[in-house]
Amino acid sequence: MKEQTDPKPNMRTILEGVITEMVSKGIYWPEAAAEFEKLFILEALRRNCGNLGKAAVTLGVHRNTLSKKMKEFGIEKGRRGEVCVSAVPIKRAV
């Protein structure tokens, strides 16, 4: 019996495609790593309604580490739990 393959690409395949495109466009490692880290943090905060403690658990880091990284990337915890990004932009890979 022939094994069926999942039509949806797995995470590794998706990342390999993104990395290939970034390298071909001349995007440097520091820029790519910073953007990935910032987006990872924002998603963890969104999924946890801005709760830093829960977001830190989601990310697998200490709450203080998350707070430092948020400051580094200009991410501020807004009032009433919403998360907002300040005017400190990180150059986006296009």
**What pLDDT was estimated at residue 86?**
45
Q: Which domain holds residue 89?
A: 29-94
pTM summary value:
0.70
Residue 20 lies in a domain: no
Looking at residue 88, what is its pLDDT?
44
Output the CA–CA distances (angstroms, integers) from residue 22 to 34, 44, 62, 65, in the order listed: 14, 24, 30, 28
Separation CA 91–CA 35 (nearest Å): 8
CATH number for 41:
1.10.10
More confident residue, 5 or 16: 16
Residues 6+ apart with CB under 8 A from 31: 90, 91, 93
17-48 confidence digits (pLDDT tens): 999 999 999 999 999 999 999 999 999 999 99
Number of domains comprising the chain = 1
Identify the pLDDT of residue 89.
47
Average pLDDT, the chain: 83
Report pLDDT for 77.
Answer: 80
